[in-house]
Each structure stands twice: as structure tokens, then as C-alpha cells.
Amino acid sequence: MAERVLITGAVRTPIGKYIGSLKEVEAYKLGAIVLNEAVARSKITPQKVDEVIFGQAYQNGESVNVARMSLLAAGWPVEIPGITLDRRCLSGLDSIFTGLVKIQSGYADVVAAGGVESMSRTEFYIPGEFMKWGMGGKKDPKWGLMPRGHGALPMWGLPFFDRIQRARVMSQPIERFGELNSMMSWAEAAARQEKISRQDADEWAVRSHRRAVAAMDQGRFDGEIIAVPTPVRKNKDLVFEKDETPRPDISLEKLAGLSTVYEDGICTAGNSSTENDGAAAVVIMSEKNAADLNAEPLAELISFGLAASDPRLTYPAVPAAVDKALKKAGLTLDDMDLIEIQEAFAAQVLADTKMMNLKESDLEAKVNVNGSGISLGHPIAATGTMRLVTLVHEMKRQQAEYGLVAICGGGGQGIAAVVKV
């Protein structure tokens, strides 16, 4: 029988809007903040951590291997290794799954895992094949010898790619699936195939914002958030401590006035998730190590499920992953007291709940009770960890027993996890 793996610390930053309050904070600094806080809440020292595993979908030249960068920026021992993985939106949850596997296989005792994303600081770039060949081949006074193909590249009037937008196109080979110029294209496919209307999507978006605003007003997120100092001027910081995107002024009338992105579609900026910045981390360890270290468990990781589907649809990967996770746990949807289904788009989450045969009463009482991606935002690789952190804290607050979290991702993949408090 596999060893039980427990979450002993779970924390996230507030979520910043695109080019908002966190725009000046490097991704690895966000990672460092949540690492130190997750360890502190576990009542252990960084020296007890065997490895750091982080997800980041938009790695860049200013923050390579953000897991290693973050632990070093946090002041942790240089002997602790760190690895960064990319399974797009699934990454933050998959990092925890990877840590669980290392613990259960005996290759680690304590793992810090999570996700980091700074979409505000994501690069524009020029693919190497367009201009790299022939560059370099000389000695630079600062950087030394630059081999052929490297060097400082002057602007030659060539267009840049936005790494965020380009990643949506290139999450699947064009020659096989055609060009998907946005993730929204498969949300529209979900709406068509599952017969979801514009009204349905807008009503879900209003629900998401109202629940997130209520959660903030009632202080439900306070226990899971660690504030982030943000530079405002020399020698002075502003503390960022509340999620930036929930809209208290949301209404169906306002959403109805927004234009759809595609002429024949239902998706708008108002019923879709946003681009965001933030980080989250958990500390996980075996039950034996938790006892030896006097670390109080928040929850137990019961099971995970991974699935994939046609990337032109993507949304069916979520119920498939949920089915795998529930079967592994020997449980059913009816056993779940709370459910988090990441809202990439209202059309997608409604399609997923329809495929999962969730009852209307369960939608109201169990699903995304504190809002989700449409209201809180979607810092891609951080989202999976963030949704799990929020789920665990809400389960503790409600004295719930079982919880489920599920995420869909670019390229047609889905992940789900079952936890017990």
C-alpha cells in the first residue's frame, strides 16, 4: 500500500491583474515568497526540503528554471535542487503530483511544490530561425566569446511574437490540427457541442464574480494569502495583499453589452478568464515524516488523474481526468463535499459540469463556491496550486471531508486531484 502523503503548508500570493500591481515583481521573487511562507506554516526549516518542483508555462530568459531560482532567492541552502515543469495550465497541480510520486517511491521525504506565473513580464521574442543564423562569432568585451548564432541582436524591423499569444497557436502542431489562434476557439466548440448559450455563460460569470467578492468581503481568503511587497518608488514598498480582478460592480446587463470575440460565438472578455500574475506553493511529506517533524497536516492527497483529448476541443479531458482520479480513490462525485473546476471560460466549465452529470443542486452548493478563473484570474501555471490551496482552506472552514480540483489546459489535457481533510 502506498504511503499516505500529507499537505502541511499551503499558501498563495494575491492574484495580480495583467500589467497590474505585480508587474514589477520578477517571477522567481514571487516563488521565493510562497516557498518561505509554506515552509514556515509547516513549522519546518528549508533544510528539511529534499526538492522544489514548480510549474511555469511562460519561462523566459530572465527567470530560467524558476524553481531553482526561487529557492535560491528565498535564501535556501544551495544543496537543494529545483526543477520546473510545463504542462500549461495543469502545471501547478502536476508539480504536486510529481512530488507525491517522488515521496511514495522513496526518492524524497519532503517536497515543496507549486506554480509561478508572471504574465505581465512574459517576453516578446524573435524565433531563432528568422534571424539567428550568421549572428555572433566575435568576442564581446563584457560577455566574452560569442559563438556563431549568439550575441546581442539589434532591431532590424522584424516583427516580434508575443510569447503568450504564440503559445496558444503552438500548443499543438498546425500541420495536424490547423491553426488554433486562441484557446477560446475550443471554448466556442464546447458551447456549440454542449448547447451552451451566451446567457448561460454570462450568468456563470456573474456568479463567479459575486462569489469571489463575497469571499473577499468575508475574509475567506485571508488565511491562504501572503502579501507581496511591490516597488513604488526608491526605498519604499507598497504591500499588495488582495486579489485584484474580482468585480463588485458586475451585472448581467453590463456583460450583455460586451461584444463576442468571434462573430458567431458566445465568448466575451467578461465570461472568460484573464491573464494574471501570482504564485502558490505547498509543502508535502509522508505521514511518518509529518509525525517525526511535528508538522500538522492540512489535508491528505488521495489521488490524481491525468487525461488528454483532441486539442481542438480540450474540455472533455477534464471529466476524463476526474473519472480517473475518482476511480483511483474508490470514490464518486457524490462523495465530494466541495469541487473546484477551473474557469478558463464559462462555456468550458459549463460543458465540463454537463459531461460530469453534476446536479443543479451540486453546482450551487459545491462547485467554485469562492469564484474561480473568471473572477479571480488565471496565472497559468500557478492556477492549479492556487485552486488547491483555496479548496483545502475552504474545506477546513466548512469541516468538509473530501474535495476535488480539476484543471483543463492548452494542447488538450486535463488533470484532477482528490483531497481529504
Instruction: Look at residue 155 in the predicted model and tell me its pLDDT.
Output: 39
- Summarised one tens digit per residue, pLDDT across range 327-342 is 999 999 999 999 999 9
For residue 308, pLDDT beyond 90: yes
The count of residues in the chain is 421
Q: Give the burial string for 152-191 (b: 16+ CB within 10 Å, else e).
A: eeeeeeeeebebbeebbeebbeeeeeeebeebbbbbbbbb
Instruction: Look at residue 61 in the predicted model and tell me its pLDDT.
Output: 85
365's grid cell? 452548493
Tell me the average pLDDT across 21-44. 97
Instruction: Look at residue 232 in the predicted model and tell me its pLDDT.
Output: 72
For residue 257, pLDDT beyond 80: yes
> Has 267 been annotated as catalytic?
no
For residue 102, pLDDT beyond 90: yes
Predicted confidence band of residue 287 (pLDDT cuts 50, 70, 90):
very high
Predicted confidence band of residue 58 (pLDDT cuts 50, 70, 90):
very high
Which backbone phi and psi does 286 adopt, to 5 degrees? -70, 160
Specify whether the CB–CB gap between 314 and 408 falls below 8 A: yes
Inter-CA distances, 58 with 6, 14, 87, 159, 299, Å: 29, 19, 11, 20, 29
- Summarised one tens digit per residue, pLDDT across range 383-410 is 999 999 999 999 999 999 999 999 999 9
For residue 23, pLDDT beyond 60: yes
Instruction: Look at residue 181 in the predicted model and tell me its pLDDT.
Output: 80
Instruction: Determine how β-strand 338-341 pairs with β-strand 402-409.
Output: parallel
Tell me the average pLDDT across 11-24. 96
Q: Measured between alpha carbons, how far is 80 from 146 in angstroms, rounded to an integer?
A: 31
DSSP state of 296: P
**Which comes out higher in pLDDT, residue 231 or 415?**
415
Residue 229 contacts by C-beta under 8 Å, 6 or more apart in sequence? Answer: 237, 238, 239, 240
66's grid cell? 524558476
DSSP for 190-248, written as a single string: HHHHHT--HHHHHHHHHHHHHHHHHHHHTTTTTTTB--EEEEEETTEEEEE-S-S---T
**Amino acid identity, residue 355?**
M
Instruction: Look at residue 131 in the predicted model and tell me its pLDDT.
Output: 61
- Beta-bridged to residue 272, according to DSSP, are 345
Burial class (CB in 10 A: 0-12, 13-18, 19+), 144: exposed
Other Cβ atoms within 10 Å of 359 Cβ, number: 12
Task: Write down the mean pLDDT value for the chain.
Answer: 93
Predicted confidence band of residue 149 (pLDDT cuts 50, 70, 90):
low
**Amino acid identity, residue 239?**
V
For residue 261, pLDDT beyond 50: yes
Instruction: Look at residue 134 in the predicted model and tell me its pLDDT.
Output: 57
Q: Measured between alpha carbons, how far is 243 from 1 in angstroms, rounded to an integer?
A: 41
Q: Give the burial string for 316-325 (b: 16+ CB within 10 Å, else e).
A: bbbbbbbbbb
**Amino acid identity, residue 92?**
G
Three-class SS of residue 119?
helix
Inter-CA distances, 421 with 89, 324, 396, 399, Å: 25, 20, 7, 8
Specify whether the CB–CB gap between 34 and 249 falls below 8 A: no
Q: Measured between alpha carbons, how far is 362 from 99 in angstroms, rounded to an integer?
A: 31
Instruction: Look at residue 154 in the predicted model and tell me its pLDDT.
Output: 46
Instruction: Look at residue 60 in the predicted model and tell me its pLDDT.
Output: 85
- Summarised one tens digit per residue, pLDDT across range 173-183 is 999 999 888 88
- Beta-bridged to residue 213, according to DSSP, are none
Determine what percent of the chain is predicted with pLDDT higher than 70. Answer: 92
Say which of 89, 209, 267, 393 is annotated catalytic.
Answer: 89
Predicted confidence band of residue 128 (pLDDT cuts 50, 70, 90):
confident
Instruction: Look at residue 158 in the predicted model and tell me its pLDDT.
Output: 62
346's grid cell? 464559462
Specify whether the CB–CB gap between 371 and 212 falls below 8 A: yes
Tell me the average pLDDT across 231-247. 86
> Has 89 been annotated as catalytic?
yes
- Summarised one tens digit per residue, pLDDT across range 151-177 is 554 434 566 788 898 898 899 999 999
Instruction: Look at residue 135 in the predicted model and tell me its pLDDT.
Output: 61
Q: How far is it between the farthest Cα atoms of the chain? A: 68
Say which of 209, 267, 393, 408 is annotated catalytic.
Answer: 408
Tell me the average pLDDT across 93-101. 98
Q: Measured between alpha carbons, how far is 34 from 31 in angstroms, rounded to an integer?
A: 5
Specify whether the CB–CB gap between 221 and 375 falls below 8 A: no
Instruction: Look at residue 148 in the predicted model and tell me its pLDDT.
Output: 65
Instruction: Look at residue 178 in the predicted model and tell me its pLDDT.
Output: 92
DSSP state of 50: -
> Has 378 been annotated as catalytic?
yes
For residue 414, pLDDT beyond 80: yes
Other Cβ atoms within 10 Å of 361 Cβ, number: 8
